Structures are given as structure tokens and as C-alpha cells.
């Protein structure tokens, strides 16, 4: 979405606003029958809409223009830790020691997967690495907000109503960002927008609904721990694409799965 053969196509602002606009349009049909919930729950919906969708989309898109995807993915793995810290300090969430152990195990495994997936060592850091960290903080706030204040609402309604806070604004921002001119003048722009649309529908709209379903069935901390599975899934796609996997990566995958399992243990006892 951002580059074609190393050459910039869409700006991070264009990508973020287009992603949010398309995701909201994809979920608009779900608003039917649920608009009445907007007035009663507008404040927490605003919180999760901005912190769970609006700001992270811009932060990660901007970061991706300057840092490696590997580093961005690794820093996104801080989401469960941020969810834990924010839940304990601001939402009075009760956490057992075993939760912290599971979170740390998953974090070590996720970091290890990124480290062993590169042949030139760990990804290089820059000031832009702060943005995915802030994005993880936003996700931590959003998860706790949904769990505390929107627990009784249908997951589809939460997703569509939350994006209603940022979707219409994003359409206006996308149109004034130079996106129409880029689509008219850059031969690769439509292809890039197609990838952004795929990202919006799958990773924003559909994933947001599934995320809210998960939040209703378990704790915010346990739900956020699925973030650790992202490097595992990425490696799986790599295998399908002909990439090789080493014994070190298998060990780190096992560590990630153990961490996610440990986080869920209190719910099983």
C-alpha cells in the first residue's frame, strides 16, 4: 500500500484514512437496527473508536514508512503487556501472577521469532519505533474500555458504531489528502489502494468484529494475548511461500503457544 518496488505510492496519511474509510463502509450495513445504542454509549464508543482504530491506523502506517515490518510487528506484541498494565492501574483489573508469567513468556517468544527470522540481526531502531509502542498503548486502552463499558452490546454493533466516530471523518480527510490526484497520476496507485482495501476489510472490519466477540467471551488480557500469534501466522504464510523454518523458530513458536496457554489457565481452573 505504501510502496511499489521500493518507490513510494501512497503516503502514510492517505493509507490510514483510506483504510479507516473503507473499513467503516464495509461495516455500515451492520448499523441497521443498532443506531439507537449510539446515544446511550457514545462516550466509550468514542474511546474505542479513536484509540482502537483511528490513532493506531495512523501510527502504524507512519511507522511502516520508516521502519521494518518485523520491528513493527515485534512492537505490536507489546499490546498484551500494555493491556495488563492499563487494566491494573486504571481499570482495577485483578491479575494473578500466572497472568504476568504467561504475558512475559509470550513476549519472549514473539521477540525471538522476529530475531530468528532475520539473517542480519535484530531490526534497526529509530525514533519512528515509538509509534507502534504508542499504538500498543492505544490498543491496551481500547480493550479495557470495551470489556468494562461495552460488554453487553452485540460485537457487530460495537465494531460498526465505534468506527462511525472515525469513518466519516476519514473519508473527508482522505479526499483532502491528495489521494484523488495520486490515483489519477500514479499508475500504481489503484493497485496500492486495492491492497489497502484488503487490509481494511480483513484486518480492520472483520478482525474488529471477531476481536469484540472474543472480548465478550474472555478477559481483555487473555484476548489481547492472541497478538503473540501474529509472528506465528506470518511464519506459516512464509512456509506456504517456500520459506524455510529452523529449529530455533519452532522453539519460539512453542514458547508463544505456552505463553498464551498460561494466560488462559486461571479461566480453566
- Each residue's pLDDT tens digit, 107-125: 888 777 767 665 545 455 5
What local confidence, expressed as pLDDT, does residue 22 receive?
98
Q: b vs e for 36-54, b when ≥16 Cβ sit within 10 Å of the residue's Cβ? A: ebeeebeebbbbbbbbbbb
What local confidence, expressed as pLDDT, does residue 173 receive?
96
What local confidence, expressed as pLDDT, does residue 102 receive?
85
Residue 123 is classified by DSSP as P
What local confidence, expressed as pLDDT, does residue 233 receive?
78
Half-sphere exposure of 43 (CA within 13 A, CB side): 3
Q: Are 173 and 54 in contact (CB under 8 A)?
A: no
For the chain, residues with pLDDT lower than 50 are 120, 122
CA distances from 229 to 46, 116, 190, 226 (A): 28, 16, 31, 5
Amino acid at each position: 500500500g505504501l510502496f511499489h518496488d521500493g518507490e513510494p505510492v501512497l503516503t502514510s496519511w492517505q493509507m490510514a484514512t483510506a483504510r479507516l474509510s473503507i473499513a467503516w463502509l464495509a461495516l455500515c450495513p451492520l448499523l441497521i437496527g443498532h443506531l439507537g445504542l449510539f446515544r446511550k454509549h457514545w462516550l466509550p464508543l468514542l474511546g474505542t473508536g479513536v484509540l482502537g482504530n483511528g490513532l493506531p491506523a495512523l501510527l502504524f502506517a507512519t511507522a511502516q514508512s520508516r521502519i521494518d515490518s518485523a520491528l513493527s510487528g515485534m512492537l505490536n506484541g507489546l499490546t498484551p503487556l500494555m493491556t495488563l498494565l492499563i487494566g491494573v492501574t486504571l481499570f482495577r483489573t485483578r491479575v494473578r501472577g500466572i497472568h504476568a508469567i504467561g504475558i512475559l513468556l509470550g513476549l519472549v517468544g514473539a521477540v525471538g521469532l522476529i530475531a530468528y527470522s532475520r539473517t542480519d540481526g535484530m531490526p534497526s531502531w529509530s525514533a519512528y519505533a515509538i509509534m507502534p509502542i504508542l499504538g500498543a498503548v492505544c490498543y491496551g486502552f481500547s480493550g479495557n474500555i470495551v470489556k468494562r463499558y461495552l460488554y453487553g452490546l452485540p460485537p457487530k454493533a460495537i465494531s460498526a458504531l465505534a468506527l462511525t466516530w472515525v469513518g466519516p471523518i476519514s473519508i473527508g480527510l482522505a479526499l483532502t489528502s491528495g489521494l484523488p490526484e495520486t490515483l489519477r497520476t500514479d499508475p500504481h496507485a489503484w493497485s496500492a489502494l486495492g491492497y489497502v482495501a484488503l487490509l481494511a476489510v480483513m484486518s480492520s472490519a472483520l478482525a474488529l468484529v471477531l476481536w469484540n466477540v472474543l472480548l465478550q467471551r474472555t478477559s481483555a488480557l487473555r484476548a489481547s494475548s492472541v497478538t503473540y500469534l501474529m509472528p506465528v501466522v506470518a511464519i506459516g504464510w512464509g512456509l506456504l511461500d517456500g520459506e524455510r523454518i529452523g529449529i530455533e523458530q519452532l522453539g519460539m513458536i512453542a514458547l508463544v503457544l505456552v505463553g498464551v496457554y498460561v494466560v488462559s489457565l486461571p479461566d480453566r481452573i
